[in-house]
Amino acid sequence: MTGGLEMADKDYAYAVGRIRILETKLLPAAFFERLLKATSVSNALRLLEETAYSLEGEATDYEGVFEEELLRFYRFLRDLTGDAPELLVFLQRWDLQNLKLLVAADGALQPSPLGTIPFSELKQMVTAGDYKKLPPEFEEVLSHLPETGPDRAAAFDQAYYRYGWRIFGKKSGLLRDYWRARMDLLNLLIFLRLRKRGASFGELSRFLVEPGFINHHEWLSRFEESQPELGSLLEYTPYRELLPGGEKNLTELSALERAIDDYLLSIAKAAKMVPLGIEPIIGYLLAKEREILNLRLVFTGKLNKLPEETVRRRLRDVYF
């Protein structure tokens, strides 16, 4: 896909000015506390009337509102940046999801409307074998598809992280740090999930994505140990702060996933200090997506009548 100029070559002064104004409208942590204390879904929906996620009349389809807001938001950022390559890395994960649906899934999933390429067009491209609008990493997978659905899905995930590293890895800075951490921490989760279900050594080697600080050998050499010392593996990386409670954090996957999400956002928060460049725009993208994730967590909890404290433990940090 054709994108805008690279971050070093484009002046984002106007775009960053717009973003600084929009950042002031992000929902603060105090708002989520008010949502948590709402006694019903309907009361929580009334609180949404104060925000960009207001529903019309008696409508209760908050999922539809969140999706529409993401669609509007993505279009706005694409127009604002002229389809900057750095932005497209993040947005094309929805195209990746739809590609998996077309060639790797069992048909039980619904296509996402959030991709940069409409699903109907993407389907035609796959049928015709015409991949020129896709990153070359995706094209490579489509041209040499593995035999099974899980292997195809893994190949797409690996291609996605190679794609991101091609864009972000060429220049030191916040976005490179963020993407490298994202690769390493995804590999950590893959390692732990596969061990938990008793997967084989071969499965781990097939599913690991591009390495960051921690190379594949380090993961593979520990996979069949009875008590792998992952704490010592992380100790000399920037991720050591994920283990304030020791290796116990590595056995509670839901808590670890939250800690990883918060750690990645902490890297992105440095974008607030960048005066110009694409970084503040990516930071705001991640902030807005985090806001919607937290809203979904609250409303799902309300709908399922989960205790307030259970939902609170699931919430992620906010950008401000």
Between 101-105, 185-189, 308-312, the lowest mean confidence (pLDDT) is in: 101-105
What are the extents of the domains in the chain? 171-275
pLDDT value of position 244: 60
Q: What is the gyration radius of the CA atoms in the chain, in angstroms?
A: 20
Side chain identity at residue 143, one-letter code: S
Does residue 7 register a pLDDT over 80? Answer: no
For residue 22, the Cα-to-chain-centroid distance in whole angstroms is: 21
Average pLDDT of the chain is: 91
CA nearest to 308, candidates 34, 17, 14: 34
pLDDT digits (tens, 9 = 90+) for 150-189: 999 999 999 999 999 999 999 899 999 999 999 999 999 9
CA nearest to 216, candidates 204, 228, 224: 204
Structure tokens at 161: 């992280």
pLDDT value of position 6: 43
Instruction: Give the pTM.
Output: 0.92
Does residue 17 register a pLDDT over 90? Answer: yes
Domain 171-275 CATH (choose: 1.10.3470, 1.20.1690, 1.10.150, 3.40.50):
1.20.1690
For residue 263, the Cα-to-chain-centroid distance in whole angstroms is: 13
- Contacts for 45-52: CB closer than 8 Å, 24+ residues apart: 48/295, 51/27, 52/25
Three state DSSP letters for the chain: CCCCCCCCCCCCHHHHHHHHHHHCCCCCHHHHHHHHHCCCHHHHHHHHCCCCCCCCCCCCCHHHHHHHHHHHHHHHHHHHHCCCHHHHHHHCHHHHHHHHHHHCCCCCCCCCCCCCCCHHHHHHHHHHCCCCCCCHHHHHHHHCCCCCHHHHHHHHHHHHHHHHHHHHCCCCCHHHHHHHHHHHHHHHHHHHHHHHCCCCHHHHHHHCCCCCCCCHHHHHHHHCCCCCCHHHHHHCCHHHHHCCCHHHHHCCHHHHHHHHHHHHHHHHHHHHHCCCCCHHHHHHHHHHHHHHHHHHHHHHHHHCCCCHHHHHHHCCCCCC
pLDDT value of position 221: 92
Name the residue with higher pLDDT: 262 or 320: 262
Terminal-residue alpha carbon distance, the chain: 33
pLDDT value of position 9: 45
